[in-house]
Amino acid sequence: MKRATLALAATASLVMAREAAASSGYPMSMQTDLDLDTEPGCDVCHAEAEAKVGAVTKPFGRSLVKLGLRGDDDASLGLALERMAKDHIDSDGDGQYDLDELSYGGDPNHAAVPIGGNELPVTYGCAVRAAEGSPAPVAASLGALALVAGWRRRSAGAR
């Protein structure tokens, strides 16, 4: 009984270590599979950016594991990436799919806007000015004139 328990514990620890182990070939495989300009760093999945990084700790890496990624198994990485694309996974909840973020050099673990990206200027508040050539000032002036003209007619009719 004691031997069976030890054997079961040893097998379980090997399986769990295989799932959590860093795989040095994954960055290059991800670059190739996703047609990225550069290899993502190990820290896209792990706490550290260098080799011997330990267990998967980042949201993007945990998503890959949930989708079937196994340590040192490039085929499982390819399948997990395919599932991620099909399921439109957004590990950091910022509304950008993880693989889209990787494609423009973003970090799928942190909400961010790409350089030169979609950030819109603030267009509300007291200090807002109309853009040059905008019809807004003309429309506002015509509206004010119409209000004044209507007020004058009412005032003249009340006499």
CA atoms within 13 A on the CB side of 54: 6
Residue-level pLDDT at 141: 77
Which pair of tokens denotes residue 70? 């196994």
User: Residue 12 pLDDT more than 50?
Assistant: no
The pLDDT assigned to 59 comes to 94
The structure's pTM equals 0.58
Q: How confident is the model over 21-36, as a mean pLDDT?
A: 85
Mean pLDDT, the chain, rounded, equals: 77
- Between the alpha carbon of residue 21 and those of residues 15, 25, 47, 104, 153, the distances in Å are 10, 12, 12, 27, 83
- From CA 118, how far away is CA 51, in angstroms rounded? 34
